Structure 1
């Protein structure tokens, strides 16, 4: 099976006829964690407001991350705003994409402008929701494909942002995914939103 370029013209990808408003909830299977998001979907356009709440573990402190996401009509991320709360204080993170395919990232550490390797999606570690962005945009839940997707990757609870690549290998049995934090498999519903993310979270 050939590996496809994630930057192919979106007109080559089947568009979704989805048009709905829903609330999705996931619970962690590897740790005490919840994510809930309200999504408004019009075709490939997604507007989402959600929150990830994680208890302290051996690898990270307790945190809460509230996010507000908007894509354009092709499913490409336009902006992501995150309010991150930890014991030591609160942090605001803003990630926006302009019409020239450049990203502007604003964190307490400063401002960064980059094309992030041609990324069209953002990804939030520990969140099953954000996988739906490339899956829906590239129709991976309907068409078996191997693809490498450059993303703007936001780590929690550190609040750091870095370029990354997420690999997807979709088939009738689900989608194998390899991210900066490991390899796993996911299943989706008919609209491309994650049901179960093996080892991470399950939708309830």
Structure 2
């Protein structure tokens, strides 16, 4: 059985995310759509085993341009990305894919920019809603939207209570308390998104 979630950006209702999620015994698979300023993106995610990202695909379509990403993590923990671009690409968007020299060897998760769905994997894997877990540093394969450029993002997750998680990103200067449901899916992400 799948569950559908919709988030609206905190300040800009034109930015929305919709995700259809199927939970497994030890993970999830999901598909979704992100509506941004000047683009629409569709994505798929496989984190069905151990709440660890195995594969994520994203297609972004703008006015007269498209770019795609397939990001995978193999059993040896090696990440790879395949990308395509077509049409006249916006001049301000960096190239898609893993940035040269970026070390993702410690990363278990993808983090899709502007999409609260990908916070669920570390929340569940670390048992933040059932155990008392201090802030724990993780490295994420962070996917910038809509460029699809991928960098290594250091992030910290810790328990507060069964409905709240402390989240901090050293890469992007974010330090917030996430309100989540019993499945570890974000209800409110201050200054970024809230479920509707």
User: 2:52 is matched with which residue?
Assistant: 76
Task: Rate the CA distance shift 1:39–1:111 in 2: closer, same or farther, 3 A.
Answer: closer
CA distance in 1, matches of 2:46, 2:120: 13
More relative contact order, 1 or 2 (CA 8 Å, 6+ apart): 1
Normalised by the size of structure 2, how large is the TM-score? 0.84
Equivalent position to 2:77, from 86, 96, 101: 101
Which stretches in structure 2 are left out of the alignment for 5+ residues? Answer: 85-94
CA distance in 2, matches of 1:149, 1:78: 17
Alignment of 1:182-201 (within 5 A): 182-201=174-193
Normalised by the size of structure 1, how large is the TM-score? 0.81
CA distance in 2, matches of 1:151, 1:184: 17
Whether 2:112 is the aligned partner of 1:124: answer yes
Q: CA deviation at 1:63?
A: 1.7
Q: CA deviation at 1:94?
A: 0.7
Q: CA deviation at 1:88?
A: 4.6
Alignment of 1:171-186 (within 5 A): 171-172=160-161, 174-179=164-169, 180-181=171-172, 182-186=174-178
Which stretches in structure 1 are left out of the alignment for 5+ residues? Answer: 1-19, 56-61
CA distance in 2, matches of 1:185, 1:88: 38
Aligned with 2:54: secondary structure? strand
Which string of whole-angstrom CA distances, capped at 9 and with x for unpartnered residues, describes residues 20-57 of structure 1? 420111111121211111001112221100011123xx
The answer (yes or no) to whether the contact 2:96–2:148 under 8 Å persists in 1 is no
Whether 2:19 is the aligned partner of 1:37: answer yes
RMSD: 1.9
Q: How many residues of Structure 1 are paired with residues of Structure 2 in the alignment?
A: 179
User: 1:17 is matched with which residue?
Assistant: none
CA distance in 2, matches of 1:128, 1:110: 21
- Large movers: runs of 4+ above 6 Å: none
